[in-house]
Amino acid sequence: MIRAATQADPAALAALHGACFTDGWSADSLGGLLASPGVFALVAERDGGPVGFVMARNAASEAEILTLAVLSAARRAGLGRALVGEAARRAAADGAVTMFLEVAIANKAARSLYGALGFEEAGRRKGYYVERPGAVPGDALVLKAELPLRPSGKVD
């Protein structure tokens, strides 16, 4: 089941984000974003608990995926695809015609997912991701898709 996040969700979403990323976002950060104009989050639940979420922001005719997190035990079951698809539908319903996101060049699974959903490279951000202190920062790809999404079925 996918549902809209509420102001009761930031602590659970922060725990989920921390389980997925080295530098997980805090409950305060997520709650602050969720309270911001144009920001929404969608939560995927199984057995009454969150196993994934997507947070996005609409601004005029553009939308941006701010983060996508799916617990490792719930991956490869279509949740990421469903969350991004639902975020894109909601963004389009709110007037967005284009959606952007950043993804680490090294994250082949995420790049494959986004490519299959019709996202294409629009740019790069050098040194955007720092996995751990002292590590060499990784580059990010800026990806763009026209809304509604037109899945290609292509998997890189």
**Cβ-based burial of 89 (10 A; exposed 0-12, middle 13-18, buried ≥19):** middle
For residues 137 and 156, what is the distance between their CA atoms, to the nearest angstrom? Answer: 23
Length, in residues, of the chain: 156
What pLDDT shows up at residue 46? 94
Tell me the β-bridge partners of 57.
39, 64
Domains of the chain and any CATH numbers: 2-146 (3.40.630.30)
Q: Which residues of the chain have pLDDT under 50?
A: 156
Residue 24, token pair as written in the block: 């997980």
- pLDDT score, position 153: 62
Q: How wide is the angle at C-alpha 11 spanned by C-alphas 23 and 139, nearest 5°?
A: 20
Q: What is the pTM of this model?
A: 0.93
Q: What is the pLDDT of residue 135?
A: 77
Decide if 42 contacts 90 (C-beta within 8 A).
yes
Those residues with Cβ within 8 angstroms of residue 149's Cβ, 6 or more apart along the chain or in another chain: 84, 85, 88, 99, 117, 118
Number of H helices and E strands in the chain, helices first, is 4, 7
**Which residues are the active-site residues?**
102, 114
pLDDT for position 155: 52
In sequence order, what are the beta bridge partners of 141? Answer: 103, 124
Positions of E strands within 26-115: 39-46, 49-59, 62-70, 98-104
pLDDT tens-digit map of 103-139: 999 999 999 999 999 999 999 999 988 776 777 889 9
Residue 51 sits at φ, ψ, to 5 deg, of -120, -5
Tokens of 105: 């060049």
